[in-house]
Amino acid sequence: MEIKRVIIPMAGMASRFLPLSLAVPKEFLPLVDKPCIQYLVQEAIDSGIKEVIFVISPKQKAVLNYFNEHSDIKKTLLSRKKESLVKELLDFENIFKDISVSYVVQKLPKGDGHAILQAEKFGKEEAVAVLFNDDIIYSDIPALNQLIKVFNTTNSPVVALKRTSVDKVSAYGNVSVEKIANGIFKIRRFIEKPKPEEIQSDLVVVGKYILTPEVFEYLKKAKPSEKGEIILAEVLEKMLQEGKTIYGCELKGEWLECGDKLKWIKSFFYMALKDPRYQDELKKYLKTIK
């Protein structure tokens, strides 16, 4: 089954970024001079994806405008003899010209599983990828491409994993695993934000997945939690309990988190210091700060 589509949920409240998120969707917070969402779409394109489906809230249409053609802006720039900026904008548009962009609406934020379920029609008959904006991987090999390679040999759901220090595991979804090959595991158990005594390993879940049509069947049957949410990790754990097979792929590359203010700031500086346009001057500037 070829992976042709990616679902990108972005209808959450972004409460960790208040009050900024009242004015700017967190997906548009920049890493250097690109919004976070652009890194995800670029990752999808570099992994061979042809169609991107955004899961948005009813008021959230900015992402669709961002990936459209911007003829009016180019016309204005040309009239002001800003040819270099026109070229920059054309180069940006050319990156996305061969993909199809569409959206579905999640009326209320009812969990990550519920968000994915809104795009069920795209995953009923073939496997799809899912990327969450909180996690960006800086790597020569796109993170999604790494997952696809595992899927191509297993034809089963694949979950992205990274290692972290044991004292930080409780902040994430944790897994118990059986090693199959270098960086590839069969997942035995999912534990969402485990207590210290429940920690199974130093592997935690990163927000990137390959989901098969069977996962959507489980999502439809899932009972909401006490908070009224459908949680993907709980659905995947249910599948494991019923004997289904789910694989984990330990991603290669630097894990850049954007799920809260401090993590986003750290990721911003990491990317800025890697950018040859700014790294030297930025390093000099940082040394002047006392």
Q: Where are the domains of the chain?
A: 5-15+29-265
Q: Could you tell me the pLDDT band of residue 211, with boundaries at 50, 70 and 90?
A: very high
Mean pLDDT over the full length of the chain: 93
Assign a CATH topology to domain 5-15+29-265: Spore Coat Polysaccharide Biosynthesis Protein SpsA; Chain A (3.90.550)
- State the burial class of residue 75 (Cβ atoms within 10 Å of its Cβ: 0-12, 13-18, 19+): exposed
Q: Are 44 and 129 in contact (CB under 8 A)?
A: yes
Q: What type of residue is 148?
A: I
Tell me the pLDDT tens digit for each residue of 64-85.
788 888 888 989 988 888 889 9
11-15, 29-33, 47-51, 222-226, range with the lowest pLDDT: 11-15
pTM above the 0.85 mark?
A: yes
225-251 tens-digit pLDDT: 888 999 999 999 999 999 999 999 999
Which tokens hold the place of 173?
């979804």
Tell the residue number behind the tokens 């409780």, with chain if given.
170
What pLDDT, on the 0 to 100 scale, is given for residue 174? 95
pLDDT at 60: 79
User: Does the pLDDT of residue 1 top 80, yes or no?
Assistant: no
Q: What does the alpha-carbon distance between residue 105 and residue 18 come to, in Å, rounded to a whole number?
A: 22
- Within 10 angstroms of residue 58's Cβ, the number of other Cβ atoms is 10
pLDDT at residue 162 is higher than 80: yes
Q: Whole-angstrom Cα distance, residue 58 to residue 120?
A: 18
Count CA atoms within 13 Å of residue 113 on its CB side: 22
